[in-house]
Structure 1
Amino acid sequence: MSRFTEVFERLAVTVEARKGASASASYTAQLLADPARAAKKLGEEAVETVIAAAQGDKAGVAAESADLIYHWLVVLAAAGVSLDEVAAKLEAREGTSGLAEKAGRKG
């Protein structure tokens, strides 16, 4: 198991555990209680990751990617979407060219 996988799994468990936490004591709980705010934060972190990448800022890409992944996990939890549901979507696309998959999407 990679270091990333181990850290990611611990973070995912922590985010899920914060669902019942007090919003006054947990930033994650605050975001989970306000899905629109969580989604906005995810967007902000995505933009910051893109900017760091466009600037060739390797350390910035790593730091912003960590923020992006955290906020992505929070958005999933707030939306009630499990990692297994995301994995199923990825598995369904395995072995399909990205161009073919995109062309096959409806709407």
Structure 2
Amino acid sequence: MNDDILNRLYDVLQSRKSADPESSYVASLYKKGVGKMSGKLTEEAEETIAEALRLEKSPEDQTIRGALRSESADLIFHLMVMLSHHDIPPGEVFAVLEERFGMSGLEEKASRKTN
């Protein structure tokens, strides 16, 4: 997979900033603010974790595997809503990941404390 779907999604989310909150779910989230968006992001993270834990117990269960994929997509979607709200395109997040690539986790964590 490439980042094209995230860039396309970002563009759609940006366009929803001028949409009617009565007819657009995303516009309604923007109108309700960061508190509501954070709540949705937390909810989707919890649901993703729950499915991951279920799959850990039943790794061959394709239904659970599909549920984990679906919840992960919901989580990414709501993260993208939050990023779009703050005008942070996927490329800026990818740039941070690129900077960290090849660096050990401990090294990366230590570098954050000095920045």
Same fold (TM over 0.5): yes
2:107 alignment partner, one of 97, 100, 107: 100
Name the counterpart of 1:87. 94
Q: Given the two structures, how large is their TM-score scaled by the length of structure 2? A: 0.80
What is the alpha-carbon distance in structure 2 between the residues aligned to residue 14 and residue 69 of structure 1?
14
What displacement does 1:7 show? 3.4
What displacement does 1:60 show? 1.2
Worse-matched range after superposition: 34-43 or 76-85: 76-85
- After superposition, what is the alpha-carbon deviation per residue over 1:61-95, rounded to whole angstroms, capped at 9, x for unaligned? 11101111110110001122222221221122122
What is the alpha-carbon distance in structure 1 between the residues aligned to residue 26 and residue 99 of structure 2?
31
Percent identity between the aligned chains? 39
Q: Contact 1:49–1:65 (CA<8 Å) still a contact in 2?
A: yes
Name the counterpart of 1:43. 42
Structure 1 unaligned spans of 5+:
none
Name the counterpart of 2:11. 13
Q: Contact 1:35–1:79 (CA<8 Å) still a contact in 2?
A: no
What displacement does 1:6 show? 4.2
Alignment partner of 2:113: what SS? coil
Structure 2 unaligned spans of 5+:
56-63
Q: Contact 1:32–1:77 (CA<8 Å) still a contact in 2?
A: no
| Larger Rg belongs to | 2
Whose relative contact order is higher, 1 or 2, with alpha carbons under 8 Å and at least 6 apart? Answer: 2
What is the alpha-carbon distance in structure 2 between the residues aligned to residue 42 and residue 95 of structure 1?
28
Name the counterpart of 1:58. 65
What is the alpha-carbon distance in structure 1 between the residues aligned to residue 8 and residue 96 of structure 2?
22
Alignment partner of 1:39: what SS? helix
Q: Given the two structures, how large is their TM-score scaled by the length of structure 1? A: 0.86
Instruction: Give the superposed CA RMSD.
Output: 1.8
- Alignment-mate amino acid for residue 76 of structure 2: I
What is the alpha-carbon distance in structure 1 between the residues aligned to residue 107 and residue 16 of structure 2?
39
